[in-house]
A and B are shown apart, each in its own frame.
Chain A
Amino acid sequence: MQRSLHIDPLKCTGCLQCEMACSYHAEGAFNPSRSRIKVFTFHEAGRFAPYTCTQCDEAWCMHACPVEAITTDLETGAKVVSESKCVGCKVCTIACPFGTINYHHVSGKVVKCDLCGGDPECAKACPTDAITWIDADWTGLDRMRASAEKSLAGVAAS
């Protein structure tokens, strides 16, 4: 069974260990501004919410890519950017309705969560189990994705 990231925002304390772990894995430095997972702080509500790519099946980024640089990793289901193919046109960054694929100014390519090839660093680094990597087909991200996809798809199959 494929595993997925499960995010429970109520457990998040906003420490950003996930962002450090992610950026260290992806870029070799503790660099939250380059993290593929972002923790949003809602100061006046006293809440935190980690957020990253939901790896949608019919991924908008993937369909929008003009040079087939985004493909599905069959092992993990992750939508993965091929750095050698990506030309940096950024069309995927406006196409992704979740805002989770972003342009990287240094590499000139786009970056997104690739589930670390099946062993996500964010989940390992989270001290409160707000981010877990679980065998489940119904995670928080799935829920979020399902509700959004329904209205976002721009299509209604009948």
Chain B
Amino acid sequence: MSWTKKILRVNLSDGSCTPEPLNMAWANEYLGQRGLASKYLVEEIDPTCDPLGPDNKLIMATGPLTGTMASTGGRYAVITKGPLTGAIACSNSGGFLGNEMKNAGWDMIIFEGKSPEPVYLYIEDDLAELRPAADLWGKSVWETDDLLHQMHQDPLLRIACVGRSAEAGCLYAGIINDKHRAAGRSGVGTVMASKNLKAVAIRGTKGVGNIDNPEKFFQAVNDAKAVLAENAVTGQGLPTYGTQVLMNVINGVGALPARNMREVGFEGAENISGEAMHEPRPSDGKPNLTTNAACFGCTIACGRISTVDKNHFSVQNKPEYWGASGGLEYEAAWALGADTGVDDLDALTYANFLCNEDGYDPISFGATVAAAMEMFENGQITTEHTGGIELKFGSAEALTKMAELVAHGEGFGLDLGLGSKRLCEKYGRPELSMTVKGQEFPAYDPRGIQGMGLGYATSNRGACHLRGYTVASEVLGIPVKTDPTVTEGKAELVKAFQDATALVDSSGLCLFTTFAWTMDNIAPQIDAACEGDWSVERCLEAGERIWNMEREFNKAAGITGKDDTLPKRLLSEAVKQGPTAGQVNRLDEMLPEYYQIRGWNEDGEVTEETRQRLGL
């Protein structure tokens, strides 16, 4: 058990909300959340459909551990066909929405069709109905959140919504819940807005109580919590510095890309690091970091809550940004900072606030600005395009201005909202787009960390660190240290990380637990909560099944082995300086072996044998 075994189908075209039983046969194969919702998506939509058309569907899904006392068990994910990539998109978020959905008695919500008018979905336990959202359309995430709380007179309402960037068609708009937690990547918010769905507001009071074996469950959960508490990364590093603990580490090993990945190594890294967030500012004597914060049920509490100096140029005379709000995570700090060459911590924080306030992905945004900056320096983009802004690497003013334009869907912000790939194509320099399958890179240069190159190239949602985080092994030595500069053994490593991650993403747990947990800690929690035997082996097999299913969807959507590649820059322009000087990513040394280990043919297609082995 631990599933509620009930899903909500919302037909936006005809306005109906219909409960239906969860397909338990699928749940037993795909567990929940990412895996199970992907199964529904794959079964229900035409893979060639327009991601922003009414034939695409959008699924919000919890996992069986969502809403339980398992540490970090509060996650939900959004699954759809992504507009940035045309591939299957799955974005995962913490905060408090997933738990609320589960408490209201729903494992997942499937949105289909398109509403003729802006609407929001209101759920109060069994009650689920679409309500007019004309008054909310055109409002930011933060305004929408406040307004819905006031309209419903319920401080405990949990809300996920899209901001103005999504309404304006920004292709990397996310869905923001609890004001600053995001299903951030791949444009899932753009899909939501394309359906005229502004928000989902949930209040659940039913409780999550159907734990299969409570005694075993509490034992497994408490044991696993102890592991998190005693681990240096999850017990100390993450609560103290958040994911920003990585900024100096990654820069130090020669894997921090900078200036649209033209360079590796950023001289301003220290200024925008997790350590810097703790330093009192000379200007007002206060640190950027106000506190750390937890998502639902999380005993790590890596979340950053930051405050910008009131006198900082970005927020002067804007008291609405003087309060504390969601601060910089490592990926955001890199994309907004190192990749644009900006090392002004408060400027990055302000830009990050805007990403939350109007719901767009700071990674894709920062990387797109970086590409635009390179094209500005090369003359393809001029002040005529930017509305007079000198879009130069290192300009905090330009960065924050661009963030405002994307937030509001105005001026050059509309071009930036296309994402790096389309922007570079539009301005005639497609090779300057640092993307895989149309999605922008995160903060680990595959020239410095070979395995990540393979991971990026084969990721089912385009360039992404969260589909197989081999950084853990190649840099941090988790669970075993491998050499980041060699390609040998990386195919196997990448596959192992990809499969395990797919399972974790399907459970309701946060991937960050895997800094400390292995499947030996995770499987017993799932096993005790759910009916049936969830051994380590079954979990890993489910993970592999999920990975292959996603791959098959992408193939049907027209994405093939040819797309398993990296931008030329990363394959041919060697790192100029630092510990990884001279390196490029040697993808060709890893990819054939990876296909073979995966049980795919040499074109990267899932073979019939593999399909049968996995029950696809």
Q: Which residues of A contact B (CB under 8 A)?
A: 13-17, 20-21, 23-24, 27-34, 43-48, 105, 125, 127-128
User: Which residues of chain B come closer than 8 Å to A14, judged between CB atoms?
Assistant: 293-294
> Contacting A31 at CB < 8 Å: which of B96, B209, B325?
B209
Q: Are A30 and B69 in contact (CB under 8 A)?
A: yes
Interface centre among B156, B293, B295 (most CB of A within 10 A): B293
Q: Are A45 and B324 in contact (CB under 8 A)?
A: yes
A-B pairs with beta carbons under 8 Å apart, 22 shown: A13-B298, A15-B294, A15-B295, A15-B297, A15-B298, A16-B294, A16-B296, A17-B299, A20-B69, A20-B297, A27-B207, A29-B208, A30-B208, A31-B103, A31-B207, A32-B103, A34-B207, A43-B325, A45-B323, A47-B291, A125-B69, A127-B299
Query: Cβ of B460 < 8 Å from any Cβ of A?
Result: no
The answer for the CA separation of A13 and B71 in the assembled complex, in Å, is 13
Query: Cβ of B597 < 8 Å from any Cβ of A?
Result: no
Q: How many residues of B contact A (CB 8 A)?
A: 36
Q: Tell me the B203-232 residues at the A interface (CB within 8 Å).
A: 203-209, 225, 229
Interface centre among A20, A21, A125 (most CB of B within 10 A): A20
Q: Are B69 and A46 in contact (CB under 8 A)?
A: no
Q: Which residues of B contact A (CB under 8 A)?
A: 67-69, 71, 96, 99, 103, 156, 179, 203-209, 225, 229, 239, 290-299, 301, 305-307, 323-325
**Are A15 and B208 also in contact (CB < 8 A) when A33-B156, A125-B69 are?**
no
Closest chain B residue, CB of each to CB of A47: B291
Q: Are A13 and B293 in contact (CB under 8 A)?
A: yes
**Chain A min CB distance to B98 (Å):** 12
Closest chain A residue, CB of each to CB of B296: A16
The answer for the CA separation of A20 and B221 in the assembled complex, in Å, is 13
Interface centre among B71, B297, B325 (most CB of A within 10 A): B297
User: Which residues of chain A come closer than 8 Å to B295, judged between CB atoms?
Assistant: 15
The answer for the CA separation of A128 and B239 in the assembled complex, in Å, is 11
Q: Are B67 and A34 in contact (CB under 8 A)?
A: no
Q: Are A29 and B205 in contact (CB under 8 A)?
A: no
Q: Are A24 and B69 in contact (CB under 8 A)?
A: yes
**Chain A min CB distance to B415 (Å):** 33
> Contacting B299 at CB < 8 Å: which of A15, A28, A34?
A15
The answer for the CA separation of A16 and B292 in the assembled complex, in Å, is 14
Q: Are B209 and A29 in contact (CB under 8 A)?
A: yes
User: Which residues of chain B come closer than 8 Å to A127, judged between CB atoms?
Assistant: 71, 225, 229, 299, 301
User: Which residues of chain B come closer than 8 Å to A32, judged between CB atoms?
Assistant: 99, 103
Q: Are A15 and B296 in contact (CB under 8 A)?
A: yes
Q: Are B208 and A16 in contact (CB under 8 A)?
A: no
The answer for the CA separation of A32 and B69 in the assembled complex, in Å, is 11
Q: Are A31 and B179 in contact (CB under 8 A)?
A: no
Given contacts A15-B297, A46-B307, 12 further A-B contacts (CB under 8 A): A13-B291, A14-B293, A14-B294, A15-B301, A16-B96, A17-B69, A30-B68, A31-B205, A33-B205, A43-B325, A46-B290, A46-B305
**Chain A min CB distance to B181 (Å):** 12
Q: Are B207 and A23 in contact (CB under 8 A)?
A: yes
User: Which residues of chain B come closer than 8 Å to A105, judged between CB atoms?
Assistant: 205
3 cross-chain pairs, A with B, having the tightest CB-CB distances, nearest first: A29-B207, A29-B209, A44-B323
**Are A31 and B299 also in contact (CB < 8 A) when A15-B294, A21-B69, A127-B229 are?**
no
